[in-house]
Amino acid sequence: MNSDVEGSSPRHAVETLPREIGILGSTAIVVGTIIGSGIFLVPHDVALEVGSVASLYLVWIVGGALALAGALSLGELGAAMPEAGGIYVYLREAYGKLFAFLYGWGSLLVIDAGSAATLAVAFGIYSSAFIPLTPLEQKLLGAATIIVLTFVNILGVRKGTAVQTIFTIAKLGGLVVIIGCAFLLPPVTRVASSAPLPVAHTTLSSFGIALVGVLWAYQGWHQLSYTAGEVKNPAWVLPRGFFLGTAIIVIVYLAANAAYLRVLPLQVMVEHQRVAATAMLWLLGPNGARFVSALILCSIFGALNGTILTSPRVYYAMARDGVFFRAAARIHPRYRTPAVALIVLGGWSTLLAMSGTFEELYTYVIFAMWIFSGAAIAGVILLRRRLPDLPRPYRVWGYPFLPLAFTVAALAIVVNTMVRKPLESFLGLAIVLAGIPLYFIWRRLDGRRRAR
């Protein structure tokens, strides 16, 4: 593995991002980026596909186990290659620059930028529960939130991590309140339902559909890898940050589902999409529902900050490789952050949020994330064979079974999506593959620059 990235100018080759993220910040990035709106809404989607409470728990346990398998595998790669860009770097070393570029291209065009735009739009929508806002004002508020958080993260990785830690603690505290109320308070009102479940018995197919939703709720554990170049003592901190963050999420998610089920029968979870708000409405009345709305706002804000904090490191790494605008590799002389890369993500995400036309693109391309995630985790096995002498301060537990389990699950999701939604899958792949000519254009321009 080349430590000095090919294609970087001498100035950029020696200029690195400062290592200022410790174990608390690393764990907060994992937890705070994962918890968005999923745990408040996905339990309804799972209830639609399972035929029993036991099956519901099993789906969340399997999803959590797969998320842990992926996170622990990335821990090995991150400890061995603690560079900014994370998954982009691992894909580059395992499969070459073109494959890695396509990941970065998809990330910038839709995956991470679309995630930021989605979170920003949702922030504006949920804010209207407290302040009357027109649809345009909701979009403007979402765009303003992106701009503010971009500015905060330009001011220093410590500031961005501090925001992440504060909002992670706040959202975990809010979930603890919901769980505590469910187990300690009698409900204000109780509504029973005699309606039959949509799925009388959980089948392998329905379990798989429910698992896809659960894995979406767990999505985001990989974001810490993007900031590997700024983590203190990465050989020690990165594996523990991945493990602690994902383990906390699994425990909290299982406890939250137990709290919902203590208040709401499974049939009622099927009938109400906003499961958390419905449960708190029954426990505390209208104030309980407002509390959940405030908690979702807090969760969305933290997840948005996590995306803005981490994702630009991919574009920074691409620029250092000579396959993106060279300016994106610049480090701010005062704040020591990839300011240009942050502005690129912030600007593009703001445009997507304001346009409101990105939802279809996001749907098309998001399944491609599973292709790249599966390939990155498979890279653990591939790189052990290809680079046996690479120092590995941490080796993933249960090798090769954990990386294999995640890779197989990712492959199954990709195949299932392509079978069930062939047109959307084809369009998603076409969008990602459209980056191929851009890759060669940037490579040629970079070659000319270095030849001067």
Q: How many CB atoms lie within 10 A of CB 240?
A: 15
Q: Give me the pLDDT at residue 3, please.
A: 39
Residue spans per domain, the chain: 10-447
Confidence of residue 12 (pLDDT cuts 50, 70, 90): very low
Read off the pTM.
Answer: 0.90
- Any idea what DSSP says for residue 96? -
Token pair for 162: 């501090």
Mean pLDDT of the chain: 88
In this predicted structure, the answer to whether residue 13 has a pLDDT above a threshold of 60 is: no
Q: Give me the pLDDT at residue 8, please.
A: 38
Q: Give me the pLDDT at residue 187, please.
A: 66
Q: Give me the pLDDT at residue 195, please.
A: 65
Q: Tell me: domain 10-447, CATH 3.20.20.20, correct? A: no
Q: Shortest CA distance to 226 belongs to which of 64, 58, 398, 81?
A: 81
Confidence of residue 5 (pLDDT cuts 50, 70, 90): very low
Q: Give me the pLDDT at residue 153, please.
A: 97
- Name 87's Cβ contacts closer than 8 Å, sequence gap at least 6: 74, 103, 222, 225, 226, 314, 372, 373, 376
Confidence of residue 96 (pLDDT cuts 50, 70, 90): very high
CB 116 within 8 A of CB 345: yes
**Separation of alpha carbons 32 and 255, rounded Å:** 17
Phi, psi of 106 (to 5 degrees): -65, -35
CB 224 within 8 A of CB 245: yes
**Separation of alpha carbons 31 and 221, rounded Å:** 8
Q: Shortest CA distance to 124 belongs to which of 110, 135, 111?
A: 135
CA distances (Å), 84 to each of 18, 322, 334, 424, in order? 11, 15, 19, 32
Q: Give me the pLDDT at residue 298, please.
A: 94
CB 107 within 8 A of CB 253: no
Percent of the chain, pLDDT > 90? 60
Token pair for 111: 């995956």
Q: Shortest CA distance to 301 belongs to which of 144, 84, 177, 86?
A: 144
**Separation of alpha carbons 438 and 399, rounded Å:** 37
**Separation of alpha carbons 134 and 124, rounded Å:** 10
CB 123 within 8 A of CB 141: yes
Based on the number of CB atoms within 10 Å of its own CB, is 253 exposed (0-12), middle (13-18) or buried (19 or more)?
A: buried
For 259-299, write each residue's pLDDT tens digit. Answer: 999 988 888 888 888 889 889 988 888 888 889 989 999 99
Q: Give me the pLDDT at residue 426, please.
A: 86
Q: Give me the pLDDT at residue 265, please.
A: 87
Q: How many CB atoms lie within 10 A of CB 53?
A: 15
- Any idea what DSSP says for residue 326? G
- Name 437's Cβ contacts closer than 8 Å, sequence gap at least 6: none
Choose between 14 and 173: higher pLDDT.
Answer: 173
Q: Give me the pLDDT at residue 433, please.
A: 93
- Name 363's Cβ contacts closer than 8 Å, sequence gap at least 6: 424
For 115-174, write each residue's pLDDT tens digit. Answer: 898 889 889 888 988 889 998 999 999 999 999 999 999 999 999 999 999 999 999 999
Confidence of residue 7 (pLDDT cuts 50, 70, 90): very low
Q: Shortest CA distance to 399 belongs to which of 414, 415, 385, 413?
A: 385
**Separation of alpha carbons 40 and 253, rounded Å:** 10
**Separation of alpha carbons 66 and 444, rounded Å:** 40
Phi, psi of 21 (to 5 degrees): -100, 120
Determine the straight-line distance between the first and last CA of the chain, rounded to whole angstroms: 26
For 252-268, write each residue's pLDDT tens digit. Answer: 999 999 999 998 888 88
Helix, coil or strand: residue 231: strand
Q: Give me the pLDDT at residue 16, please.
A: 83
For 374-415, write each residue's pLDDT tens digit. Answer: 999 999 999 999 999 999 999 999 999 999 999 998 998 888
Mean pLDDT of 312-316: 96
Mean pLDDT of 419-431: 83
**Separation of alpha carbons 307 and 305, rounded Å:** 5
For 162-179, write each residue's pLDDT tens digit. Answer: 999 999 999 999 999 999
In this predicted structure, the answer to whether residue 9 has a pLDDT above a threshold of 80 is: no
Q: Give me the pLDDT at residue 4, please.
A: 36
Token pair for 108: 């910038």
**Separation of alpha carbons 345 and 107, rounded Å:** 10
Write out the DSSP string of 191-216.
Answer: ----PPPS-SS--HHHHHHHHHHHHH
**Separation of alpha carbons 291 and 297, rounded Å:** 10
Token pair for 425: 């899958």
Q: Shortest CA distance to 224 belongs to which of 75, 385, 389?
A: 75
